């Protein structure tokens, strides 16, 4: 588990002068460096008690990784129907809020900042995970080749229920309440999960959105739900503490679009007008190739005046170059943070990296969660 990864890094880079390791601001949030811990589903909430985070193990996990300038929490569902995986935490009950408060207190005491990633998975779930609730989506279109992992094993996700306009409004309000609860829980802001084939992404892309009303058809209509969520969250907690994660070209969770530049281009222009804190970009296919055509990320960098957080396959040299050149304001790392709780220090030193063990990404307990070693002092 702890063998070093090959280092495709330029050790000659002076970490003392690299902007990646310098303080900055992400909207209204002051950060100690521009290294961001990406949201990582770890499936270790207390599911029997109501998907509650905040165990001693959860607290230790986040505290260990508080060298990051900004931590983005694992996805936390805004309602029971938004849950798509076993033992993921929620942000809709008082008990969940109290659990998250123990985590945010620990992160702040360790000198970092943390935002909550609030999500609704839409059609990527099964009634066995939602307390019997049927999956929902913009249209009654099931994803192909997608299974849900339940306590009874792998099962195909069913055809979702197409949301009515009244139900859409209720989910928008669930996001608003989730954002309000995040601030109650001590988070410094929120990241709205608009990526990777979950509900907001399903509305954005015409591979899943076949609606003919105000939420479907044109790029403007397909972006409507995302912008309603952003507006509700920003009105509740402030635009300077609101961000969103987007993945315009990933095929993850069987999602596609006929013209990503059109719909995401419109969305970016509207987000810029709203002055939100950041857009967190998955550049390319999630966890895969970066050179997927269909969207101009360099254009997005120019068009959006807030913080551009880059993500997907970055190593030390790439991250330093991206921030020093101005192509990005910050860089998010996912799996490297799983295996390297002290990732920022390792990147500064050009030190070897522990190898993550995928077999323990979602298993209960501390193995593969809080037992990865840090560098010797």
pLDDT digits (tens, 9 = 90+) for 123-164: 999 999 999 999 999 999 999 999 999 999 999 999 999 999
Take residue 117 and report the two structure tokens written for it.
């990633």
pLDDT digits (tens, 9 = 90+) for 247-260: 999 999 999 999 99
Helices and strands counted in the chain (H then E): 11, 14
Is-contact 83 121, C-beta < 8 A?
yes
Q: Provide the percentage of residues in the chain whose pLDDT is more than 90.
A: 95
Per-residue DSSP letters for 9-62?
A: --TTS-TTT-GGGS-EEETTEEESSSEEEPP-----SBTTTTSB---HHHHHHH
Q: Which range is least confidently modeled, 9-23, 56-70, 140-154, 174-188?
A: 9-23
Q: Cα(333)–Cα(341) distance, rounded to whole angstroms?
A: 11
Q: Is 6's pLDDT higher than 50?
A: no
Q: Which range is least confidently modeled, 5-14, 86-95, 149-158, 268-277?
A: 5-14
Q: Is 9's pLDDT higher than 50?
A: no
Q: Write the DSSP symbol of residue 92.
A: S
Check residue 203 and give its pLDDT: 98
Q: Is 238's pLDDT higher than 90?
A: yes
Label each residue of 136-177 as H, E or C.
EECCCCCCCCCEEEECCEEEECCCCEECCHHHHHHHHHHHHH
Confidence of residue 13 (pLDDT cuts 50, 70, 90): low
Which is higher by pLDDT, 4 or 293? 293
Region at 196 (left for phi over 0; alpha for psi -120 to 50; beta for the rest): left
CA 126 to each of CA 141, 148, 272: distance values in angstroms, whole numbers, following the listed order: 14, 6, 35
Mean pLDDT of 253-276: 98
Q: CATH assignment of 19-360, given 3.20.20.70, 3.30.70.1880, 3.40.190.290, 3.40.50.12160? A: 3.20.20.70
**314 included as an active-site residue:** no
70: helix, coil or strand?
strand
Check residue 14 and give its pLDDT: 65
pLDDT digits (tens, 9 = 90+) for 309-359: 999 999 999 999 999 999 999 999 999 999 999 999 999 999 999 999 999
Is-contact 332 308, C-beta < 8 A?
no
Choose the catalytic residue: 198, 215, 308, 372: 198
Give the HSE-up count for residue 46: Cα atoms under 13 Å, Cβ half-sphere: 15
Mean pLDDT of 172-201: 98
Q: Cα(122)–Cα(283) distance, rounded to whole angstroms?
A: 23
Q: Is 4's pLDDT higher than 50?
A: no
Q: Cα(367)–Cα(377) distance, rounded to whole angstroms?
A: 23
Q: Is 187's pLDDT higher than 80?
A: yes
Check residue 1 and give its pLDDT: 35
Is-contact 128 78, C-beta < 8 A?
no
| Averaged confidence pLDDT in the chain | 95
């Amino acid at each position: 588990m702890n063998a070093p990864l090959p280092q495709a890094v330029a050790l000659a880079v002076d970490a003392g002068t690299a902007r990646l390791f310098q303080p900055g601001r992400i909207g209204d949030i002051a950060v100690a460096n521009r290294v961001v811990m990406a949201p990582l589903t770890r499936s270790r909430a207390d599911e029997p008690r109501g998907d509650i985070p905040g165990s001693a193990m959860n607290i230790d996990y986040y505290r260990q990784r508080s060298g990051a300038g900004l931590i983005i929490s694992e996805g936390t569902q805004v309602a029971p129907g938004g849950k798509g995986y076993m033992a993921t935490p929620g942000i809709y009950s008082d008990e969940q809020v109290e659990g998250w408060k123990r985590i945010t207190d620990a992160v702040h005491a360790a000198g970092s900042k943390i935002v909550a990633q609030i999500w609704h998975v839409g059609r990527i779930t099964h009634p066995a995970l939602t307390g019997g609730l049927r999956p929902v989506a913009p249209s009654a279109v099931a994803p192909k080749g997608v299974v849900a992992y339940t306590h009874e094993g792998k099962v195909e996700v069913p055809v979702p229920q197409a949301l009515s306009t009244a139900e859409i409004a209720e989910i928008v309000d669930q996001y608003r309440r989730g954002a309000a609860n995040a601030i109650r829980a001590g988070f410094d802001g929120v990241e709205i999960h608009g990526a990777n084939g979950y509900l907001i992404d399903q509305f954005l892309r015409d591979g899943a959105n076949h609606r003919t009303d105000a939420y479907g058809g044109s790029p403007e209509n397909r972006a409507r739900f995302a912008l309603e969520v952003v507006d509700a969250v920003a009105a509740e907690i402030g635009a300077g503490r609101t961000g969103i994660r987007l993945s315009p070209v990933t095929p993850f969770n069987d999602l596609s679009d006929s013209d990503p530049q059109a719909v995401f281009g419109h969305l970016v222009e509207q987000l810029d007008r709203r002055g939100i804190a950041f857009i967190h970009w998955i550049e390319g296919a999630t966890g895969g190739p970066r050179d997927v055509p269909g969207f101009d990320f360099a254009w997005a960098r120019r068009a959006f005046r807030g913080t551009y957080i880059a993500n997907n396959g970055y190593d030390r040299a790439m991250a330093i170059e991206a921030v020093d050149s101005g192509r990005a304001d910050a860089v998010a790392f996912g799996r490297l943070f799983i295996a390297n709780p002290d990732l920022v220090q390792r990147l500064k030193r050009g030190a070897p990296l522990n190898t993550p063990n995928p077999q323990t990404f979602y298993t209960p307990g501390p193995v593969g969660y809080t037992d990865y070693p840090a560098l010797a002092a």
